[in-house]
Amino acid sequence: MPDSLTLAKLEPLRTEENRYPIAVIGAGAWGTALALLASSKGIPVYLWARRPLHARAMQEERQNSEYLPGALFPESLHPTADAEEALQKARFAVVAIPSRAMRETLRLLPKAPAYVSVTKGLHFTDHHLLRMSQVVEEVTGVSRVAVLSGPNLADEVARFLPAAAVVAARDPQLARQVQQVFSGASFRVYTSSDVVGVELGGALKNVIALAAGMVDGLKLGDNAKAALITRGLREIIKFGVAQGASEATFMGLSGLGDLIATASSPLSRNRSAGERIVKGESLAHLQAQKTVVEGIYTVKALHAWDEETGADLPITEAVYRVVYLGADPLDELSRLMGREAKPE
């Protein structure tokens, strides 16, 4: 992994924050990138891996060669498979677990005093559509839960390329704590009180990114992709506002910003998955991959919600039909283009 900004250029915290450890639950690419950000400032970070062999490899190699090869660990980053070790002194735990494994994993772990969800997904269960922060609160019983989201490709963050994110929480003190821990020379964190908007922007953009990848795979051109992203943003806003979010949130980092990065970058797993789907890769093969494509689970949850409520999510439904029903993406495009003409 090429160097960009060296660790020495990161500004250490000017307060006593670096005395308090944090835990990162989940040693995939994004969890590891966040662990690098905080530990590079001298904050003790315990990076919990589900598999002991994975934790041992990170301890010995001082990097996560499975997900982020070349990003060397500072001394204050402590990989472990011992959940008690990771969580016993943590001021908060960052939850970087794939959405499909969120419940079962959190049930097995000790509780933290607060949580920060960075998983961009949705659950549909018992006639309810749940955001990941709601799942965390439901499973742990802990009400101090924040969400961190934005246009943050893990590989670039781990290389300390400039990036920004937003942390939202009902508890402003928790939001400020998270902001202080992760803010640095290469990563700027803003705060928000709109938990619903920040979280939904991060989850729903993965569905639009799948569609953008399909456009790329079919070589339909930049005009088509720009139109898709724009109308996709409109669909995200319409859905999010109906769930109680502020429309302005979706024009910020966790909405438009995240959508641009995820729908455009070759590093985006969801965009790449959409491209692979139209080239013949099966859903089963996608689900079996080591790196999780959250959009394929989010679109399923949104489809279930759509059927339950009659919400109007045309792009989401088109993506669902292609991914789960094997529909021809060109037929779905024709369906979208043939919708009733109306004002923008």
> Among this protein's residues, is 238 annotated catalytic?
no
DSSP conformation class of 11? P
- The secondary element (H helix, E strand) that includes residue 77 is strand 77-80
Of residues 339 and 27, more confidently modeled: 27
Residue 123's pLDDT is what?
93
What is the mean predicted confidence (pLDDT) over 269-277?
A: 96
CA distance linking residue 320 with residue 96, whole number of Å: 25
pTM for the predicted model, two decimal places: 0.92
CA distance linking residue 269 with residue 179, whole number of Å: 26
Domains and CATH numbers, the chain: 7-193 (3.40.50.720), 201-337 (1.10.1040.10)
pLDDT one-digit tens code per residue, 8-24: 344 444 455 556 899 99
Yes or no: say if 191 and 238 are a contact pair by the CB < 8 Å rule: no
DSSP conformation class of 170? S
| Confidence category of residue 3, pLDDT binned at 50, 70, 90 | very low
- Strands 187-192 and 163-169 come out as parallel
- Strands 45-48 and 22-25 come out as parallel
pLDDT > 70: percent of the chain = 94
Q: Which amino acid is at 206?
A: N
Query: Token pair 């949580």 is at which residue?
Result: 115
Number of H helices, E strands in the chain: 15, 10
Residue 1's pLDDT is what?
44
Residue 160's pLDDT is what?
97
Per annotation, catalytic residue among 205, 225, 238, 300: 205
